[in-house]
Structure 1
Amino acid sequence: MRIIKSFKLSAVTLALGSMTSTLWAMGEHTDTHMSSHQMRDMSDMQYLAKDVFTDSAQINHAEHAEHAEHAEHAEHAEYAVELLIASTEKHVHTADHRKEHGGQIYQSTEIDSRWLSNSDGEGLLKSELESRIGTDENKLFLKLHADKAESAKADYAAQAMYSRMISDFWDVQVGVRYRYDQKHSNDKSRYDAALGLHGLAPYFFETDAYLFVGQDNQVSFSLETERDILLTQKLITQPYLNMNVVFSDDSRYAQKTGLNDVWLGVETRYEISKKIMPFVDIAYHYEKGDKQTAWQTKTDSEADWWYGAGVRMKF
């Protein structure tokens, strides 16, 4: 572009120079024959040519200055972009915000112990422990359950589950369950593979749903769900549902298939702090019973209301 403009200016300059030379020659040749008025016109044309030369030089100088200014601005802009890119790359490589976005490792343990009694005066002690450790995306769950009826031996269950977040409110879990029942004379220990979901169902129901598959064709499903309803900031009532469904069981101490065990109740707790929470509990319990096998006699289904109190601790 600058070459074209320079070429045009050079052509204009040559043309004006030729015109001036011609005018000067004509002036010398006709000086004696021209009137004073004609001489003044010729002088004006000469001054005009001189002004054109001056304007051309000024335009050329201004264009050079403008190009120099644009080049300087472009150089500064390019340098600023390089600085910005270098600063961004440094920030990307050195900054680590994982702790601010769920990458930190945290641990939580909850212990729940309650004593219940039914209308016949029979007592039952139920204890649960749940501990979790990990990040928002990957966690390890440890669960322990112990049930001991009055004047009877206790049975225990423990689960170790790997939990992986699959959405904002749900984790898929896989692991193993160990069961120990002292009431059985044989096969006291049993192992089951476990697959389930842990998370927050619609309307804020905290839910744990598991499918268990074990030896002797034992296949069962368990569901635990609960929801907090705040009466005050410290007084909270919690409806809950715990149930077990047996799909098949060919073991020596087989349970009846179908809806085998249900706890449906309401717990009301007072939070002294977020670590200590005493509560009272009222629940309806249904149990279907056991099958008739060579190792046990058939039992009938039972249903009763249970009342009690307990304490929950978190740390």
Structure 2
Amino acid sequence: MKTLFALILMGAAAPALAQHAGGHTGLTETEQTNAEPEDNDEATPGAAAAPKNTGDNATDHLNMDHSAMGDAPMDRDTIPAMDHDEMDRDVMDHSQMGDSAMEGMGQMDHSQMGQGDMSMPIPDAPPPPAAGSGPARAADAVWGAEAMRGARDKLRSEQGGQTFFWIQGERAEYRIREGKNGYLWDIQGFYGGDIDKFWFKSEGEGSFGEEIEAAEVQALWSRAIGPWFDFQAGVRQDFAPRDRTYAAVGVQGLAPYLFELDVAAFLSDRGDLTARLEGEIDQRITQRLILQPRAEINLAAQDIPELAIGAGIDTAELGLRLRYEIAREFAPYIGVEQEWKLDKSADYARAGGEDPSVTNFVVGLRFWF
């Protein structure tokens, strides 16, 4: 009985022993029978001898010398045996899947897989009371108060505490008109930060070969009163036609639709009250070609005979300039401007032998740095 049992065990183990000795080829018995015989005795030219199979399924593939393997086909006997019985049974055998199953996978709507409702409500409630309840200088406990004081000073300096110097020649032009040609300058600039600045302005005009008709300089403290406007207050000094000092107060900034406005009132040391309104807008034709309409009105609260100024609207100017920006900071222009003296000021002009209405064709330069 024992002999019969031993023969049965040997018969059952024979295929496994043969497979272990010859190497597992991954083919069924029928496929091995029908496969073409291989001639292992002929060495492939240029191919190095591959290591023999030890029959050990634990052979480390990483330790194989791949540099010794040529371009020739690999011999089955040189491939370490792979124990397919140890492979993960969960791997899907796609060869057993029918065409209908594969088509079903192709038609799967991946957009519905685990997406759910991606929209998240935006909270509109105020932050919870605990938000911001920590110490105001929490980093001092980590880095030290002295180190953090220097870091905060640098942050203020680099993020809003900088000071700038800017100057612009808004109008520096040659004026061609009936009679004697003239000139005009209109320069302004500032030094300071985002909130407080020292602002300076200078305007003047005249005719060639004659005394300067008007010249003034303003020194102003400027304080931002919003994102678009500055409040300005300071002193204005006139040098022509009379030396006169004024207290100046006004607002300058950018109005809706990009109108640049400058409105100021002046009270002289003689008690004369005057005002000035200036407005202009840049209409961009191309990136470099800009058309600029400009208007200015001067008013007076009373007659000032020594300055040839009448009460009410003293003068009005309306101009149109076309400039070409060779660079943003450098733009020559041409244009035309009409000036009027009105009401009592027109009477003063006629009495002095002047025309109260003058047309100027201008050629000038606008610059800033």
2:336 alignment partner, one of 273, 282, 288: 282
- What do the CA deviations read for 1:266-294 (whole angstroms, capped 9, x no partner)? 1111111122110011122112364989x
From the superposition, tell whether residues 88 and 168 of structure 1 become closer, same or farther in structure 2 (CA, over 3 Å).
farther
Deviations 1:204-232 (A, max 9, x none): 11111100011333111101111111111
Show the counterpart of 2:210: 152
* Equivalent of residue 244 in structure 1, options 298, 304, 313: 298
Which one of 138, 141, 147 corresponds to residue 196 of structure 2? 138
Select the residue among 250, 275, 287 that pairs with 1:196.
Answer: 250
Give, in whole Å, the separation in 1 of the partners of 2:179 and 2:354. Answer: 20
Residue 363 of structure 2 aligns with which residue?
Answer: 309
Aligned partner of 1:228 among 265, 279, 282: 282
Q: In 2, distance between residues paired with 1:282 and 1:156? A: 22
Specify whether residues 231 and 191 from structure 1 end up closer, same or farther in structure 2 by C-alpha distance, changes over 3 A only.
same
Alpha-carbon RMSD: 2.7
Letter in 1 for 2:364: G
Which one of 272, 281, 284 corresponds to residue 326 of structure 2? 272
Could you say if the C-alpha distance between residues 195 and 235 of structure 1 is closer, same or farther in structure 2, counting changes exceeding 3 Å? same
The answer to which structure has the higher helix fraction is 1
Does residue 1:174 correspond to 2:229, yes or no?
A: no
What residue is the counterpart of 1:257 in the other structure? 311
Q: TM-score, normalised by structure 2?
A: 0.56
Describe the shift of the 1:99–1:85 C-alpha distance in structure 2 as closer, same or farther (beyond 3 A): closer
Q: Distance in 1 between matches of 2:139 and 2:326?
A: 54
Query: Aligned partners of 2:286, 2:296: CA distance in 1, in Å?
Result: 26
Flag structure 2 segments of 5+ consecutive residues without an equivalent: 1-137
Q: Is the 8 A contact 1:290 1:300 kept in 2?
A: no
Greater shift in the superposed pair: 122-131 or 266-275: 122-131
* Local SS of the residue matching 1:261: strand
Asked if the contact 2:315–2:345 (Cα under 8 Å) also holds between the matched residues in 1, the reply is no
1:98 aligned onto 2:156: yes
Q: 1:162 aligns with which of 197, 221, 226?
A: 221
1:127 partnered with 2:185: yes
Unpaired runs of 5+ residues, structure 1, are 1-82, 183-187
Distance apart, 1:150 and its partner CA: 3.6
Do the aligned partners of residues 264 and 89 (structure 1) sit closer, same or farther apart at CA in structure 2, a change above 3 Å counting? farther
Deviation of the 1:99 alpha carbon: 3.5
Quick one: distance in 1 between partners of 2:143 and 2:201? 46
Equivalent pair of 1:253/1:291 in contact (CA under 8 Å): no
8 Å contact kept, 1:191–1:215: yes
Per the TM alignment, residue 89 of structure 1 is displaced from its structure 2 partner at its CA by 7.7
Which position in structure 2 is the counterpart of 1:73? none
Give SS of 1:252's match: helix
How far did 1:250 drift? Answer: 4.4
Aligned-residue identity in percent:
26
Q: Which residue of 1 aligns with 2:106?
A: none
Say whether the 8 Å CA contact 1:217–1:249 is kept in structure 2. Answer: no
Counterparts of 1:196 and 1:89, CA distance in 2: 46
1:100 shift after superposition: 4.2
Give the counterpart letter for 1:159 in structure 2: Q
Kept in 1, the 8 Å contact 2:199–2:220? The answer is yes
Specify the code of the residue in structure 2 equivalent to 1:173: Q
Correspondence 1:205 to 2:265: no
8 A Cα contact 1:218 1:251, kept in partner:
no
Q: TM-score, normalised by structure 1?
A: 0.65
Which residue among 103, 116, 127 is the counterpart of 2:175?
116
Greater share of residues in strand:
1
Deviation by residue 1:110-143 (Cα, 9 ceiling, x = unmatched) = 123101223x344220012212100010001111
**CA–CA separation in structure 2 for the residues paired with 1:123 and 1:223:** 26
Q: Distance between the aligned counterparts of 1:131 and 1:100, measured in 2?
A: 22
**Are residues 250 and 243 of structure 1, via their aligned partners in 2, closer, same or farther at CA, if it must alter by over 3 Å?**
closer
Task: Quote how far apart the aligned CAs of 1:303 are.
Answer: 1.7
SS at match of 1:86: helix
* Corresponding residue pairs, total: 226
